[in-house]
Amino acid sequence: MTPLRGRLRPPRSLRARLTAGLLVLLGLACAAVGVVTVLALHGFLIGRVDQQLTASGGRFAASLEHEARPDSDNLPDTRGQAAGTFGARLLDGRVTQAAVVDDTSQRSVPLGPGDIHTLGAVRPDARGHSVKLSALGHYRVVAAPGDDGDVLITGLPLHPVEETVHRLEAVEAVVFGAALITAGCAAALWVRFSLRPLEQVARTATEVTRLPLATGEVAMPEPVPYADPDTEVGRVATALNRMLGHVGDALTRRHVSEKRLRAFAADASHELRTPVATIRAHTELALRHPGPVPDEVRHALGRVAAESHRMSALVDDLLLLARLDAGRPLDRQPVDLTRVVLDVVDDVHALSPGHRWELDLPEDPVSVPGDEHRLHQVVANLLANARLHTPSGTHVVVALTADTERAELTVTDDGPGIPRDLLPDIFRRFSRADTGRSRRTGSTGLGLAIVDAVTHAHGGTVTVESRPGRTRFRLLLPTGPCPAADDGAARPNFP
């Protein structure tokens, strides 16, 4: 059985709570008015009955004090008595006579032991008392001492009083019910009208939460038009407008800073390509010198060549990221992703034969629209990450699947896993497991950042799950037409 708490839940919206609160208060007020009026009317009618009993003087009960003889005219006096008037004579705790006026005559009333006990409990104080008789119903009675040491009781029925009170209760129920329904509809409309500015504030705040605030230029929504500072809603609207202004200024300054940083990275990368290429050329020329070269000099030239090669690759990566950050469109040609995966696995297998490489490819070729060179770089970076950060003998599984909407590439290894504190920033630039300056793995921290940026530029996503003994990169690419990336859509992920 469903508990009552689960079925009857309090309203959650402010509008419903205000409307419900007004209805509850109005209902309590109506209930209080109804109770007071019913009690007042009941007391007033009881008082009128008591006045009638006092005005009757107890003549009907007094006429029952002496039993009538058959040869006399000593009959109960019913003159001026209302129909239903009750009279009884009690002597020594027992009822000797009990009758009720029926039109202009009187008839005896049979009383049970309970009725006798009830009448005997009425004090002869000439005050009204309410009793219930089994044969007659509710009565208002007055007891007075008689001439022979007996007690004379006179009563009037309370049925007219109860009927009047019940009619008033029915009328109040109808009137108050109609008033509550009308007031509920009016209150709902009024509360809805009064909270329209607050709904505008909520819509504006919701619109802000849906904006891509992470990067790029953001168009802030219009300020809330309701700005009366003398109301609570007006103060909230004013505070929200000020907050939107501060957020908009901060986003504008951040966007300008990002543009400057992108321009600097692009310009610096472009300017560095020529001197780095010159250094590499002169170093290779010196190493090919036919004359004798000291071993120390040859070793130094070898180090210069290696570091210049590494710096050239770093400059190329930075330039690629700068171009993606600027929203440069990539090539959109059909790419045989199956062939790309096969070529990259062949290359990495030659570089790291100690790893156990496994391919899981579908029977039919998988084709996606995009830039073949950049997709080749994405797959190469993913496998290079598995090669460089796992020990020899690690089992790496490269799986490719596809359906009508997207292609999925996964790279799973059983290596030591990625540190938990590094996972949230794994795709940020210059994020490395080896944070030292020695860079023993040769990583620049840009490989996975390029994977993320190129994948996003192709309209895809890349995620990672890792724990000790299992790390899995999951790359999703659309197989249909890929929309061009917007300005700043490549998520610069600046540190």
Distant-in-sequence contacts of 347-355, Cβ < 8 A, 24+ apart: 347/380, 348/380, 348/383, 348/384, 348/387, 351/387, 352/387, 352/392, 354/392, 354/393, 355/386, 355/387, 355/390, 355/392, 355/393, 355/394, 355/395, 355/396
Judged by average pLDDT, the poorest of 57-71, 105-119, 214-228, 378-392 is 57-71
Average pLDDT over residues 352-370: 91
Query: What is the architecture of the domain spanning 330-478?
Result: 2-Layer Sandwich (3.30)
Q: Give the start-to-end residue ranges of the domains of the chain.
A: 10-54+159-194, 57-67+74-157, 235-321, 330-478
Q: Are 415 and 391 in contact (CB under 8 A)?
A: yes
Q: Which value, in Å, is the radius of gyration of the alpha carbons in the chain?
A: 50
Residue 307 CA to residue 291 CA, distance in Å, equals 24
Q: Which among 207-216, 254-263, 392-401 has the top mean pLDDT?
A: 392-401
Residue 301 CA to residue 283 CA, distance in Å, equals 6
CB atoms inside a 10 Å sphere around CB 456: 17
Tell me the sheet residues that pair with 412.
397, 472
The better pLDDT of the pair 172, 324 is held by 172
Ordered alpha helix ranges (H), 196-353 = 196-209, 232-287, 295-325, 337-351
Residue 437 has pLDDT above 60, yes or no: no
Residue 30 CA to residue 22 CA, distance in Å, equals 12
Residue 54 has pLDDT above 90, yes or no: no
DSSP state of 384: H
Q: Which of 23, 330, 297 is nearest to 176 (CA)?
A: 23
Average pLDDT over residues 284-289: 75
Tell me the pLDDT of the chain averaged across its residues: 80
Q: Same CATH topology for 57-67+74-157 and 235-321?
A: no
Average pLDDT over residues 277-281: 76
Provide DSSP, 109-132. Answer: ----HHHHHHHHTS-SSS-EEEEE
Residue 485 has pLDDT above 60, yes or no: no
Residue 492 CA to residue 450 CA, distance in Å, equals 10
Provide DSSP, 388-406. Answer: HSS-TT-EEEEEEEE-SSE
Q: Which of 161, 158, 154, 159 is nearest to 99 (CA)?
A: 154
Residue 40 burial class via C-beta count within 10 angstroms: exposed 0-12, middle 13-18, buried 19 and up: exposed
Residue 60 has pLDDT above 70, yes or no: yes
Phi, psi of 414 (to 5 degrees): -105, 35
Instruction: State the angle between helix axes of 196-209 and 159-194 in degrees (0 to 180), rounded to the nearest 10.
Output: 50
Judged by average pLDDT, the poorest of 170-179, 195-204, 347-356 is 195-204
Give the model's pLDDT for residue 235: 80
Name residues whose C-beta falls within 8 Å of residue 442's C-beta, 6 or more positions apart in sequence.
Answer: 310, 388
Strands (E) across 375-460 are located at 395-402, 406-413
pTM attached to this predicted model: 0.49
The token duo for 418 is 């990625």
The better pLDDT of the pair 239, 212 is held by 239
pLDDT in tens, 218-250: 777 777 776 567 777 778 888 888 888 888 788
Give the model's pLDDT for residue 243: 82
The token duo for 340 is 């790309």
Residue 173 CA to residue 181 CA, distance in Å, equals 12
Give the model's pLDDT for residue 268: 65
Give the model's pLDDT for residue 400: 93
Give the model's pLDDT for residue 8: 55
Helices (H) and strands (E) in the chain, counts: 11, 13
Residue 133 CA to residue 111 CA, distance in Å, equals 8
Q: Which of 142, 133, 148, 152 is nearest to 63 (CA)?
A: 152
Average pLDDT over residues 108-121: 85
Q: Which of 416, 415, 419, 411 is nearest to 394 (CA)?
A: 415
Q: Are 135 and 109 in contact (CB under 8 A)?
A: yes
Average pLDDT over residues 176-200: 86
pLDDT in tens, 308-332: 777 777 777 777 777 776 667 777 8
Judged by average pLDDT, the poorest of 285-294, 352-361, 471-480 is 285-294
- Dihedral sign, Cα of residue 273, residue 274, residue 275, residue 278: positive
Query: What is the architecture of the domain spanning 235-321?
Result: Orthogonal Bundle (1.10)
Residue 119 has pLDDT above 60, yes or no: yes
The better pLDDT of the pair 472, 208 is held by 472
Q: Are 34 and 172 in contact (CB under 8 A)?
A: yes
The better pLDDT of the pair 14, 355 is held by 355
Residue 480 has pLDDT above 90, yes or no: no
Residue 302 CA to residue 288 CA, distance in Å, equals 11
Residue 412 CA to residue 394 CA, distance in Å, equals 10
Judged by average pLDDT, the poorest of 119-128, 306-315, 374-383 is 306-315
Q: What is the CATH number of domain 57-67+74-157?
A: 3.30.450
Give the model's pLDDT for residue 403: 87
Residue 213 CA to residue 50 CA, distance in Å, equals 82
Residue 488 has pLDDT above 60, yes or no: no
Q: Are 481 and 369 in contact (CB under 8 A)?
A: yes
